[in-house]
Structure 1
Amino acid sequence: MLIQLAIIGLLFAVFPLALVLISKEQNKFRKLIAVTLFLTFDLIIFGAFTRLTDSGLGCPDWPGCYGEANPFQAHSEIKAAETLLPTGPVTVAKAWIEMIHRYLAMSVGVLIILQMGIAWWKRKSMRHSPWLPTILFVLVGIQGAFGKWTVTMKLQPIIVTIHLMLALTILGMLVWAWQREATQLVLKLPPLLPRLLPFAFVILVLQIALGGWVSTNYAALACHDYPLCNGEVVPQLDFEHAYTLWRELGRTGSGDFLPFSALITIHWVHRSFAWVVFALLASVAWLSRQQAETKQLGNAIFAVLLMQFMTGVATIYFSWPLAIAVLHNAGAALLVLILSVLNYRVRSSAVPVS
């Protein structure tokens, strides 16, 4: 099975590798990073789709599906499970969604291993240290372990949330690796921007973690209206149970059923903190628009913030439609990508205006 899975991972990596080889770009290594970055972004979105369709346990073992490399070979076991419980967690469709997610993850792993190999092989002639691709390789290994635990620990919320945050960490580091291969620009920026950007990035990451906690606890519909929450400005809150991190899905730390007030708390905190994030990132966007080289990034931040607000509210009023929920997740990943680009450019080449 492991050999078959390795072959499938290699096959999934063939097309992006072909794009690198046929590219007219002179710096093939930078092109490889760019293709890996694009595929990682897609993987994060497909991971959100996997989670939102309840397909995380579509194959109840790891790394294969009922000990097989693909759902075709495990079809009889999957159908037997689906017959017993037609709505899941194991169905033919969910098994394929879960395994395609794993195949895409393996292909990203192959591309990152290739980056690390090239970086060490050509370390004397390359502009940068090979340690960043090496750290990425280590992170991919840790991410694979959390992917396994997501399944074996039955979607335990803290494990799934860390799995998401590691994926975004890898995305941000790939952005950093991609940007450092580009020609450096000298920017004249408002003095506040270099100081504000790192803080804004940390706040964004915290908000995404809160959003991941909403998703992994299935608390997206705990408040059925907006801007009020179930008709109240501040509903009854239960922080003790809401933020007990080490517990089973739907359970308290002591093993009892999670009270609904805890789900309301998880939802309310995420939507309330969103206003802090919105104000801070809007300030970053406004400051970025003051310089021609970063104006497009500032405009992009404004656009994605607007999309995040609209999709967040629409998720509530339209009862969590799949397409809008996936788009909301995509917006979070896109903000990480844009702010990673902006952080790199400001930190590596900015000259503050005195």
Structure 2
Amino acid sequence: MKFQALKWSAYGSAIVMFIVVLMGALVTKTDSGLGCGREWPLCNGKFVPEYTISTMIEYSHRAVTGVIVLLLLAAAILVWRVDKRRDAKRFVGGAIFFTFLQAVLGAMAVVWPQSPLILASHFGLSLLAFACTLLLAMLYTRRGQTAAKEEAVRPSMPSPPLFRAAVWLSTVYSLVVIYLGAYVRHMKSTGGCLGWPLCNGELIPELSGATGIVFMHRVAAALLFIVLLLLFQMARRSFPAEHRLTANARNAFILVTLQVISGAFVTWTVGISGWGLLAALAHTVLVCGLFGVLSYLCVATLSSQRAVVLQTQRSTV
């Protein structure tokens, strides 16, 4: 019974955290960050404010953030009392840590004006919190439980050091690209490069102002596409086609391809309010998926190596 409660609290945390990230993107895209004025935790001086669109968007985001805090606290208590797995403790602890940081940063952004450089980091912290909740939830899926038992009995093929380094560097670099994308939004520079793949009709435009910011993000995203293509090729050479590392390297490449397409869609819909918002939210969904897969790859490369080390230690005893 307690294990079921733990499992569903982990699932709920991942789902609600995804909603938090999506709603944060909605707040930024609709420019609703000050929908509650410069007040926190009150909203325009009230616990339940009067209805306006911007107020409800910002207030709903705050409310859902409160829900995720309660879910994470429940998951943490259950992990410590029921499961006690080290990886589960790390994931729930990381989720609480990054959620706390992004909540504090969000409150500070409301009370005191912040630069776009600081505001852009808010999205990165939200993604890290989402990745932790996703990894926690995956531990309690049927596949996650089966994989853990199999690893304990018969460790899978260890990942080569070069592949492990490539996975971690790709994940860190993806955060840089994501940060640049968030910076573009907070600088309100989305229209700096009209058209795609050309920027304002040029292959290399004049790199100043909003155009330079957007073009830098485009170049960084194109490089991430190449990096994840190479990572997929490394996985194919190092592991069988059905291996989880190969499968997820392929998933990462598919997601970055869709992300590039959605980025083009964002550009094509600049100035079209309804479609522009839809494009931005779709882009955010794909970013969450891509970073979640890359985070899983990081953990998988470590877990396979750790399982082999443990098995070697047992055999020598």
Using the TM superposition, give the Cα deviation of residue 53 of structure 1 relative to its aligned residue in structure 2, in angstroms.
1.2
* Equivalent in 328, 332, 342 of residue 283 of structure 2: 328
1:136 aligns with 2:136: no
Using the TM superposition, give the Cα deviation of residue 189 of structure 1 relative to its aligned residue in structure 2, in angstroms.
6.0
Q: Which residue of 2 aligns with 1:278?
A: 225
What are the Cα deviations for residues 302-350 of structure 1, in whole angstroms up to 9, with x where unaligned?
3312211111112112226110111112211111111111221221025
* Equivalent in 152, 158, 177 of residue 207 of structure 1: 177
After TM superposition, the structure 1 stretch with the greater mean CA deviation from structure 2, 313-322 or 135-144, is 135-144
Say if 2:91 and 2:136, in contact at 8 Å, map to a contact too: yes
Using the TM superposition, give the Cα deviation of residue 178 of structure 1 relative to its aligned residue in structure 2, in angstroms.
3.6
* Equivalent in 133, 157, 163 of residue 188 of structure 1: 157
Q: Which residue of 2 aligns with 1:303?
A: 254
Change (3 A) 1:132 1:335: closer
CA distance in 2, matches of 1:340, 1:187: 19
Say if 1:62 and 1:151, in contact at 8 Å, map to a contact too: yes
Q: Which residue of 1 aligns with 2:314?
A: none
1:157-172 equivalence runs, <5 A: 157-172=116-131
CA distance in 2, matches of 1:343, 1:27: 27
Using the TM superposition, give the Cα deviation of residue 285 of structure 1 relative to its aligned residue in structure 2, in angstroms.
3.1
1:219 aligns with 2:189: yes
CA distance in 1, matches of 2:251, 2:4: 26
1:1-354 equivalence runs, <5 A: 27-60=4-37, 61-71=39-49, 74-75=50-51, 92-120=52-80, 122=81, 126-128=84-86, 130=89, 132-154=91-113, 156-179=115-138, 182-183=144-145, 184=148, 185=151, 186-188=155-157, 191=160, 192-237=162-207, 261-288=208-235, 290-291=239-240, 292-294=242-244, 295-319=246-270, 321-350=276-305
Q: Which amino acid aligns with 1:348?
A: S
Change (3 A) 1:223 1:70: same
Identity of aligned residues (%): 23
Using the TM superposition, give the Cα deviation of residue 168 of structure 1 relative to its aligned residue in structure 2, in angstroms.
1.1
In structure 1, runs of 5+ residues without a counterpart are: 1-20, 76-91, 238-260
Say if 2:22 and 2:284, in contact at 8 Å, map to a contact too: yes
Say if 1:187 and 1:346, in contact at 8 Å, map to a contact too: no
Q: 1:59 aligns to what SS in structure 2?
A: coil
What are the Cα deviations for residues 43-81 of structure 1, in whole angstroms up to 9, with x where unaligned?
11121112111111111122221121222xx35xxxxxx
CA distance in 2, matches of 1:318, 1:136: 34
Q: Which residue of 2 aligns with 1:242?
A: none
Using the TM superposition, give the Cα deviation of residue 26 of structure 1 relative to its aligned residue in structure 2, in angstroms.
5.0
CA distance in 1, matches of 2:91, 2:166: 25
Say if 2:72 and 2:92, in contact at 8 Å, map to a contact too: yes
Q: Which amino acid aligns with 1:347?
A: L
CA distance in 1, matches of 2:166, 2:156: 16
Say if 2:225 and 2:256, in contact at 8 Å, map to a contact too: yes
CA distance in 1, matches of 2:14, 2:235: 23
What are the Cα deviations for residues 140-193 of structure 1, in whole angstroms up to 9, with x where unaligned?
222211111222234631232121111111122223434455432433266342
CA distance in 2, matches of 1:300, 1:28: 30
In structure 2, runs of 5+ residues without a counterpart are: 310-317
Say if 1:179 and 1:344, in contact at 8 Å, map to a contact too: no
Question: Larger % of helix: which?
Answer: 2
What are the Cα deviations for residues 209-238 of structure 1, in whole angstroms up to 9, with x where unaligned?
11111111111110112233223333232x
Aligned-residue Cα RMSD (Å) equals 2.6
Q: Which amino acid aligns with 2:76?
A: M
Q: TM-score, normalised by structure 1?
A: 0.73
Say if 1:288 and 1:297, in contact at 8 Å, map to a contact too: no
Say if 1:57 and 1:154, in contact at 8 Å, map to a contact too: no
Q: Which residue of 2 aligns with 1:7?
A: none
Using the TM superposition, give the Cα deviation of residue 135 of structure 1 relative to its aligned residue in structure 2, in angstroms.
4.5
Say if 1:56 and 1:98, in contact at 8 Å, map to a contact too: yes
Q: Which amino acid aligns with 2:120?
A: T
Using the TM superposition, give the Cα deviation of residue 98 of structure 1 relative to its aligned residue in structure 2, in angstroms.
0.9
CA distance in 2, matches of 1:147, 1:168: 14
Q: TM-score, normalised by structure 2?
A: 0.81
Say if 2:255 and 2:289, in contact at 8 Å, map to a contact too: yes
CA distance in 2, matches of 1:202, 1:135: 16
